[in-house]
Structure 1
Amino acid sequence: MSTKAEKTKEFIIKTSAPIFSKQGYVGTSMSDITNATGLTKGALYGNFKNKEEIALAAFNYNTTKLLNKIDERLNIEGTSLDKIYNLTSFYRQYAVFTLDMGGCPIINVGVDAEYNNKTLSSAAKEIVRTIEGKIAAVLETGVNNNELKLPVTPLQFAKQLYTMLQGSVAMATITQDRKYLLNTVNYINHLIEKEVKL
């Protein structure tokens, strides 16, 4: 059973997560958080040391949801190919999934924090490495089970695959045109079918 303090902390994190994602670290003030939560600054500082601590907790909240979804997609029964296709299928609806988060937390926070906050920037880079590692593990299993052939190492291929997905997410976000994402997913699936599948 969560204590009142734990529930308050969780409420602050959940409420501030989309605000930080949309407005960025510098663009989000403590007043924005008090307005959204209805809590006083004293209540915020009673639960967190500073704005950076709230921002990091908010980022972790969003990316934990994302990592759980990626795990769910990659841990299905079936071949490595089934798992990769299940992941690319998820990215077709990525904008819907990340809507409540304030958009893609990795792109939003990663780009914003690069020049504004080293702690958040490091956290974003770590999430990228984690996701690439998860994809690489599936690809490596596929190679070992003679399901896939890769022109490079599984990790290098995973990095390229994830770059294409995230790049198309960025373009779809910038242009507000989902075709960037949908066409890229179709291309990735075609590439895997023609070049990678054994």
Structure 2
Amino acid sequence: MSKGEQTRQFIIEKAAPIFNIKGVEATAMSDIMQATKLSKGSLYVHFENKEVLALAAIDYNMDMLGKKVLAKLSTHKTMKGKLFAFIDVFADVINPPVEGGCPMINFGMEADDTNPVIKKKVHSRIEYAQQLLAELLQEGIQKGEFKASLNYKEFATIMFAMLEGGIIISRVAGNNTKVNLVSKALKKMITAQLV
């Protein structure tokens, strides 16, 4: 990695939590300057404008979340274990896997009516997460772990929506109470589908 690429990566890593916490609109380049200790000119050498930096930071946040989810899933052999692990990654909103909380929620809510580029990025990640859950459920059916009658695509969507809903309710409340209720309910639903 060249010095320029290292500096660019450094800026993204410092900017990512700021954008995830404050949002794209509320984040100023002065916030990034303060975090990186770089001048505005130095920032603009690596990023044409705040929007370009924000898009890179969004990708970084969502990539970090994806890596943490996949790492947690890889520690389990059964599909039930992997699904429980997926839930557990998100279940502590006080100490989220990505600083500032779930980037799909944060950027999705901000961009749904205002920024079609960010909305498309978030939508793609949501689709990916639901597809991952569907594939885990389908593999569980194929391996005889889950009932053959399970509609794995519908279940994946319901599971994802319940979890993300629990996250946002708990984030607003400032505690894990509601997301813990959702986590327990989802684990019961998954267990009920075991053969």
TM-score, normalised to structure 1, is 0.91
- Does the residue aligned with 2:114 lie in a helix, a strand or coil? coil
Counterpart pick for 1:143 among 134, 141, 144: 141
Indicate conservation of the 8 Å contact 2:92/2:176, yes or no.
no
- Which residue of the partner structure matches residue 118 of structure 2? 120
Identity score, percent = 30
Task: Tell me whether 1:32 sits opposite 2:31 in the alignment.
Answer: yes
Indicate conservation of the 8 Å contact 1:113/1:120, yes or no.
yes
Indicate conservation of the 8 Å contact 1:91/1:185, yes or no.
no
Deviation at 1:116, TM superposition (A): 2.5
- Which residue of the partner structure matches residue 46 of structure 1? 45
Amino acid at match of 1:187: A
Amino acid at match of 1:197: L
Deviation at 1:33, TM superposition (A): 1.3
Deviation at 1:126, TM superposition (A): 0.8
Partners of 2:89 and 2:32 lie apart in 1 by: 31
Partners of 1:11 and 1:20 lie apart in 2 by: 15
Indicate conservation of the 8 Å contact 1:150/1:157, yes or no.
no
Partners of 1:164 and 1:91 lie apart in 2 by: 12
Indicate conservation of the 8 Å contact 1:9/1:47, yes or no.
yes
Structure 2: which 5+ runs fail to align? none
Structure 1: which 5+ runs fail to align? none
Q: Aligned Cα RMSD in Å?
A: 1.7
Task: Tell me whether 1:197 sits opposite 2:194 in the alignment.
Answer: yes
Partners of 1:128 and 1:72 lie apart in 2 by: 18
Residues 17-166 of structure 1: pairs in structure 2 closer than 5 A: 17-98=16-97, 101-149=99-147, 153-166=151-164
Q: What number of residue pairs does the alignment pair up?
A: 195
Amino acid at match of 1:85: F
Amino acid at match of 1:192: I
TM-score, normalised to structure 2, is 0.92
- Does the residue aligned with 1:43 lie in a helix, a strand or coil? helix
Q: Deviations over 1:28-65 (max 9, x none)?
A: 11122112211111111110121111111111111111
- Does the residue aligned with 2:133 lie in a helix, a strand or coil? helix
- Does the residue aligned with 2:101 lie in a helix, a strand or coil? coil
Amino acid at match of 1:109: F
- Does the residue aligned with 2:160 lie in a helix, a strand or coil? helix
Deviation at 1:150, TM superposition (A): 6.5
Partners of 1:150 and 1:59 lie apart in 2 by: 38
Amino acid at match of 1:189: K
- Which residue of the partner structure matches residue 13 of structure 1? 12
